[in-house]
Structure 1
Amino acid sequence: MMSTDTLASPDTFQSKPIRKTGVLIVNLGTPDSPSVPDVRKYLRQFLMDERVIDIPYLNRWLLINLIIAPFRAPKSAKVYRKLWLPEGSPLKIYGYSVEEKLQKVLGEKYVVKLAMRYQSPSIESALKELRKECLTDIVVVSFFPQYASASTGSVYKEVMRVVQDWEVLPEIRFTNRFLDHPKFIEAFANLGKKYMAERDYDHVVFSYHGLPERQITKGDVTRNFCQFGSCCDVLDHRNQHCYRAQCFETTRLLVKEMGIPEGKYTTCFQSRLGKTPWIKPYTDEIIPELTKKGVKSVLAFSPSFVADCLETTIEVGEEYKELFEKEGGIHWQLVESLNDSDIWVETVEDLVKNA
């Protein structure tokens, strides 16, 4: 008979479970370089996403590969060269900085990885690294304040495509939107207040990335609420997932936080592509209307982006400034994005812990 002295204690075979959470932070993406081939590669991957250009596959393939990518890539490459920093793309630089800072504040029970929906580092490669960590769960934080099928929805779809064949699936949670997160509003408002303390502005413009109107109507599950008018005056259960309504709500929250009076601000939309109707009003059409009313100075926000990129630095910061001055305006000031600021890292930390 075996002596009880030789029996192993239960503690020999048991250990306390260690919970470890993976954090996947995802932004839209950027070319690997501002060269024409890399920009063309990026445009093809980005625009071939059926959630970005939602037309039949053959039509989309012909449009992207025979028209947009060949002709737009050289022009876009020139713009990206203006944006590029010695260290690379600002979007990726700020992304890696947030990854590092977030890892530090979350601690050893979390593993943080940056991914881009398009190009590198890819969602697939980041999830492959997280898979090795024996995780209890994964939190996916899409860096898009307002939900849209073409952005947040596309991230969801790609994550699920990658993990669908995993034999062991940890719990996966997604952040849907964070336009009303107190720290997000505070962060952008503080940036605006900084400029407002330096001078008086005649008007404040909140310019958001645009979407085709058809994508908004397709997302209207009621099939009769979306009218592209007063339906966006309030955000409720009927339009809670409507990108346009969320943008107007973001403006209302920022206006309240900064104390901007009615009539002194405008919500509008940029970056439209093609001839089909996009959500209105268009930023480039609002600018001449403002100057005709005597507006000489504008403070411009782009609150659909959390990191400076082509759409903020170049489009809003330079191209719209040139248009404003051409139309008779004097001072156009872009409010920078949150980038890798401490309060933005705090926002993401809170999104992770309360996902």
Structure 2
Amino acid sequence: MNTDTLAQPATSTTEKSIKKTGVLIVNLGTPDSPSVPDVRKYLREFLMDERVIDIPYLNRWFLINLIIAPFRAPKSAKVYKELWRPDGSPLKIYGYSVKEKLQKALGDEYVVELAMRYQSPSIEGALKELRKECFSEIIVVPFFPQYASASTGSVYKEVMRVVQDWEVLPEIRFVNRFLDHPKFIQGFADLAKKYMAQRKYGHFVFSYHGLPERQITKGDVTGSFCQFGTCCNQLDHRNQHCYRAQCFETTRLLVKALDLQEGTYTTCFQSRLGKTPWIKPYTDEVIPELTKKGVKNVLAFSPSFVADCLETTIEVGEEYKELFEKEGGQHWQLVESLNDSDIWIETLEDLITGRPKPAEIRA
């Protein structure tokens, strides 16, 4: 008998293809359908998040359940019906497409799951699936280029809520932001160049989702740096987590990539809710100012979104276009989001695998 044969294990673990890493990609969310009940359900879950509307619970409950959800849901449902495709919500359609493409790009050592912060597929359900695989690491990638407590921070909180009672916790790594990733910038720049080759634009509008000013102030851990002015002119260690400063930095990077001239572009903020001050300037107030200056052609961007949705396609692409034309403008063109493009998949692959490293923050 050959004892050497007996001494060898039947199969070495190094010879197996072991799935080592779970990847959870997360976008904000979308109603399950454009019906009023589903939109109302979505609004309640979204706006009841204390990181989204950061006021005392009882005040928030009455505001959302007795005022906003009942009255806003029918109006929002009409808009969602305009956005909806035969096969569902664009946000979810692109999400599943990205999941499939990213899985193929990463290979067998990774398992990719898609989740939405609000509604389905849920973070809890996706993590339940990843838990079964006994991964050594789970990488969470919120689909928000700029960090904000109301978006990325909320994803962090929900993930930790779900896993806090797990007996075995793998290493969990969060992607904090990716506004300065070269391929993210290149993706938007390449899309813009397609339109710039077809027409000469007099101005470029970079419209980001807004936040209440109080949330920006609360995020200033120094307690004194944030002034809503020149403090956003540079991104450094003091304001690296300030959403407004990150938005201005995103604009600067895109301006450089597109070689735009000073005075031909504006950074502004959309989607404000309520009467409290939100970060400025407001996009709907910038547009009339541009037409008064004689601007006739505008190329608009929404670089706080990676997938087209209500805020890009409808708000920036249609509502702001109507406002621009009403004020005397002639041509308003929205640059679409990265959606499921090859360069977005490459960006995600880099963020997950750690190569290459984005530019370091200036000291």
TM over 0.5: yes
- Which deviations, in whole Å up to 9, do the C-alpha atoms of 1:95-133 show, x marking residues without a partner? 000000000010011000100000000000000111111
What is the match of residue 336 of structure 2?
336
RMSD: 1.5
What is the match of residue 48 of structure 2?
48
Q: Are positions 1:290 and 2:290 aligned together?
A: yes
SS at the partner of 2:115? strand
1:84 maps to a residue whose letter is W
**How far apart in 2 are the matches of 1:73 and 1:56?**
23
**How far apart in 2 are the matches of 1:77 and 1:151?**
22
Consecutive unaligned residues in structure 2, runs of 5 or more: 356-363
- Cα contact 1:30–1:119 (8 A) shared by 2: yes
Pairwise CA distance, 1:143: 0.3
Change (3 A) 1:57 1:152: same
- Cα contact 1:206–1:268 (8 A) shared by 2: yes
SS at the partner of 2:299? strand
- Which 10-residue stretch deviates more, 119-128 or 12-21? 12-21
**How far apart in 2 are the matches of 1:94 and 1:315?**
19
1:241 maps to a residue whose letter is H
What is the match of residue 91 of structure 2?
91
Q: Are positions 1:304 and 2:283 aligned together?
A: no
What is the match of residue 178 of structure 2?
178
1:197 maps to a residue whose letter is A
What is the match of residue 107 of structure 1?
107
What is the match of residue 77 of structure 2?
77
- Cα contact 1:26–1:140 (8 A) shared by 2: yes
**How far apart in 1 are the matches of 2:239 and 2:4?**
68
Q: Are positions 1:9 and 2:11 aligned together?
A: no
What is the match of residue 140 of structure 2?
140
What is the match of residue 66 of structure 1?
66
SS at the partner of 2:9? helix
**How far apart in 1 are the matches of 2:270 and 2:35?**
25
**How far apart in 2 are the matches of 1:152 and 1:8?**
54
**How far apart in 2 are the matches of 1:342 and 1:6?**
50
Pairwise CA distance, 1:15: 3.2
Pairwise CA distance, 1:9: 2.5
TM-score, normalization by structure 2: 0.95
- Cα contact 2:203–2:264 (8 A) shared by 1: yes
**How far apart in 2 are the matches of 1:15 and 1:272?**
54
1:222-237 aligned at under 5 Å gives the runs 222-237=222-237
What is the match of residue 193 of structure 1?
193
Aligned residue pair count: 353
SS at the partner of 2:91? helix
TM-score, normalization by structure 1: 0.97
- Cα contact 1:19–1:136 (8 A) shared by 2: no
- Which deviations, in whole Å up to 9, do the C-alpha atoms of 1:38-75 show, x marking residues without a partner? 00000000000000000000000000000000000000
Pairwise CA distance, 1:20: 1.1
**How far apart in 2 are the matches of 1:271 and 1:218?**
20
- Cα contact 2:142–2:175 (8 A) shared by 1: yes
**How far apart in 2 are the matches of 1:5 and 1:317?**
74
Change (3 A) 1:5 1:31: same
- Cα contact 2:19–2:108 (8 A) shared by 1: no
